Amino acid sequence: MTEALGGTAVFSEGAGEVKGRQAGWGSAVLDRFQNPTQVLATGFGSVVLIGTVLLTLPIATTSGESAGWVSALFTATSAVCVTGLVIVDTGAYWSSFGEGVIAGLVQVGGLGIMMMATLFTMLVSGRMGLRVRLMAQAQTSTLNVADARRVVRNVVIFSLVSEAIVAVILTARLMIKYDESFGEAVYHGVFHAISAFNNAGFALWPDSLMGFVTDPWICLTIAAAVIVGGLGFPVMFELLRSWRRPSRWSVLTRVSVVVTVLLLSSGTLVFLMTEWRNPGTMGALDDSEKLLASFFTAVMPRSSGFNSIDVSQMAPSSWLATDILMFIGAGSAGTGGGIKVTTFGLLAFVIWAELRGESRVNVGHRRLTESAQRQAVAISALGVALVAVSTYVLLVLTPHSLDKVLFEAVSAFSTTGLSTGITADVPPAGHLLLVVLMFIGRIGPLTLGSALALKERTRRYELPEERVIVG
């Protein structure tokens, strides 16, 4: 067992304890990781501030006039938090410089969250490389400079290669099918590859991807990028390494893959049934095109704000289904938001074990720790509370109905970016609320989960137990 106290690491083997002091930069890194809230909040806040300043420059807009600070702040926050909610038309309002700033902010935000999530995941799971020999002949894994640099390098390479593959496919398709010039196709391909892999959902077309609803090359490529980016580096690396041996997958990979497949398949079926005859969405499509549109619509609530059908014309039941999918979100170490599929999956196992009267929660051939169960409950409960309070405030500030306001609040919290079309109609106070909601939704689940896991302590006494009626 390991308990970090300032710059000292305490390792216990049985009843004995040996203290080892971390040296140099490795200790500083570990100390910082034990307070991830400060790291992410400060880093993301600084990038948002820089992006806001850049977007207020006259060169950032097509009109040559300075954008209002609310519009700049909202767009910068949406980009850094890889959300995709907008209050102005991205392709029409922002100049090439402004669009470049947005793409850069999305890239920084996506890479930042994936690198930090990967480091936290590996640190919490005890899989970093340096092995420390102790007097009691115990072993542990700690974070050192080489490990951190290797993880960062691998994440960057993985992200850039994935984006390059998507950009090449999109560029070729836009040139061949839609007669775009080479330069225009490359521009659109690179921008949307960055936006898709980082689960941002920013599009340069005013109707997002509705013009490509029947094009499998565009829709499936974008969907694949969203899924891969949403699963994250640790899961994808383990799948590439051991895809033939699922029995060797970690609990993180197993839960991420199983829950993702279930959500995508059930979401596709729900949207297929509810929107089949809807003339405002899929009614005019043929059967195969409806299946493609349903699958694409099921993928996007993972945390990407692209849409190939008109969200504002969807049935209220489809909005509710989208709310649920958005709230769950993507993988724990990916670029997506929400409470994460692992949190949702662990809660499902907890409920199943409770219904069966089992005292332990097992996932495959592994037992789930009580601390992980409490963390899943805490993250979910706080997410529900945050969405509920934000929905109430937005209802007070706007004249819109509950279903639309709830959709907007869940979309901002889960950093998804889908909207029923009311974002621009929200007053400035509502825009600021959405800015805060996006920021908290981006860094909240990751920092809360990591902080809880890294701050776990062993109580040296137990209080008398008392039964309480629940339910």
Q: Which residues contact 76 (CB under 8 A, 6 or more apart)?
A: 48, 49, 51, 52, 54, 55, 105
What's residue 32's pLDDT? 47
* Separation CA 431–CA 338 (nearest Å): 20
> Any idea which of 25-39, 71-85, 247-261, 290-304 has the lowest mean pLDDT?
25-39
What's residue 264's pLDDT? 96
Of 17 and 436, more confident: 436
φ/ψ (deg, to 5) at 17 = -130, 135
What's residue 141's pLDDT? 33
> Any idea which of 141-150, 267-276, 346-355, 453-462 has the lowest mean pLDDT?
141-150
In this structure, how many other beta carbons lie within 10 angstroms of the beta carbon of residue 47?
A: 20
- Tokens 């398949």, residue? 265
User: Could you give the count of Cα atoms lying within 13 Å of 433 in the half-sphere of its Cβ?
Assistant: 24
Average pLDDT estimate for 98-109: 94
What's residue 323's pLDDT? 96
Any idea what DSSP says for residue 423?
G
* Tokens at 121, concatenated: 């995941």
Q: What one-character-per-residue DSSP string does 10-70 give?
A: EEEETTEEEEEE--HHHHHHHHHHTSHHHHHHHHHHHHHHHHHHHHTSGGGBTTSSPPPHH
Of 44 and 386, more confident: 386
Any idea what DSSP says for residue 315?
-
* Separation CA 375–CA 148 (nearest Å): 25
End-to-end Cα distance, the chain: 36
> Any idea which of 34-43, 322-331, 389-398, 416-425 has the lowest mean pLDDT?
34-43
Q: Read off the pLDDT band of 225 (50, 70, 90).
A: very high
Average pLDDT estimate for 433-461: 71
Of 173 and 441, more confident: 173
Statement: residue 459 has pLDDT above 70: no
Task: Report the amino acid identity of residue 372.
Answer: A
The share of the chain scoring above pLDDT 90, in percent, equals 53
Task: Report the amino acid identity of residue 161.
Answer: V
Helix (H, G, I), strand (E, B) or coil at 361: strand
Please state, in angstroms and as integers, the Cα–Cα distance from residue 265 to each residue in 57, 259, 291, 299, 325, following that order: 45, 10, 11, 9, 12
Statement: residue 449 has pLDDT above 90: no
* Separation CA 311–CA 174 (nearest Å): 24
* Separation CA 201–CA 186 (nearest Å): 18
Statement: residue 42 has pLDDT above 60: yes
What's residue 246's pLDDT? 82
Statement: residue 215 has pLDDT above 90: yes
Task: Report the amino acid identity of residue 52.
Answer: T
What's residue 1's pLDDT? 34
Any idea what DSSP says for residue 247?
G
What's residue 124's pLDDT? 55
Per residue in 122-174, pLDDT tens? 555 554 433 323 222 222 233 445 556 777 788 888 899 999 999 999 999 99
* Tokens at 247, concatenated: 């029995």
What's residue 388's pLDDT? 96
What's residue 444's pLDDT? 72
- Tokens 């789930």, residue? 368
What's residue 322's pLDDT? 96
Per residue in 365-406, pLDDT tens? 778 888 778 888 888 988 999 999 999 999 999 999 999 999
Q: In terms of Cα–Cα distance, which of 297, 347, 290 is closest to 321?
A: 297
